[in-house]
């Protein structure tokens, strides 16, 4: 007889994979950003040469790191909360507070997602481009915003769901993430 070590909810595996993808993308963005900035500084200092588009790319990477970073931070339960009050609550009260917090977070996220798509649509229809050498169509980097918010909403829903269906027993199975 073998012991089944699979997650109790099939979606948790998908969410964990999504989390790894987001972490990988954010990490790669940080590496690329540092490389571009260091290269730009070295070239400007050494030979007085500038690519002229590094500032723009770094700005887009900062937005990506911010939106994907908040997703990772939320998923890893590393967002700021007043732990001294939270720890004093009963387990049932903490679960209820987590669910209310998740609902409020979604209420904030959903309109932001809607308006982000509105912004992208407006930029696309108007053909708005960046006023730089690259002349990047602005709807392309703006896609980062709803992508990050949608991923955050998925993580919020997953967290709330895990708090709703928490097993009654104290025996917990470790879910590999």
| Each residue's pLDDT expressed in tens, for the chain with a length of 177 residues | 444 444 444 456 899 999 999 999 999 999 999 999 999 999 988 998 878 888 999 999 999 999 999 999 989 887 777 777 888 888 899 899 989 999 999 999 999 999 999 999 999 999 999 988 889 999 999 999 999 999 999 999 999 998 888 765 444 444 443
Orientation angle between helical segments 10-47 and 54-75, nearest 10 degrees? 150
C-alpha pair distances (Å), 2 with each of 5, 6, 12, 13: 9, 12, 21, 20
20, 23, 32: which is closest to 61 by C-alpha?
32
Check if the beta carbon of residue 71 is closer than 8 Å to that of residue 29: no
Orientation angle between helical segments 10-47 and 144-164, nearest 10 degrees? 150
Check if the beta carbon of residue 139 is closer than 8 Å to that of residue 120: yes
- Whole-prediction pTM: 0.80
pLDDT at residue 7, rounded to an integer: 42
9, 18, 17: which is closest to 152 by C-alpha?
18
């Amino acid at each position: 007889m073998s012991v089944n070590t699979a997650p109790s909810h099939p979606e948790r595996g998908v969410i964990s994979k999504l989390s790894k993808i987001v972490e990988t993308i954010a990490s790669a963005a940080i590496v690329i950003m540092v490389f571009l900035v260091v290269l730009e500084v070295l070239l400007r200092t050494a030979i007085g040469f500038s690519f002229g588009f590094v500032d723009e790319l770094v700005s887009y990477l900062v937005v990506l790191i911010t939106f994907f970073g908040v997703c990772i931070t939320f998923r890893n339960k590393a967002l700021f909360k007043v732990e001294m009050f939270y720890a004093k609550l009963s387990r049932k009260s903490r679960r209820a507070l987590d669910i209310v917090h998740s609902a409020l977070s979604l209420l904030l996220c959903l309109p932001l997602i809607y308006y982000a798509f509105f912004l992208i649509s407006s930029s696309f229809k108007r053909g708005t481009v960046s006023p730089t050498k690259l002349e990047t169509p602005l709807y392309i980097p703006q896609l980062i915003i709803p992508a990050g918010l949608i991923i955050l909403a998925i993580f919020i829903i997953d967290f709330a769901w895990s708090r709703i269906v928490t097993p009654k027993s104290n025996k917990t199975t470790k879910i590999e993430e």
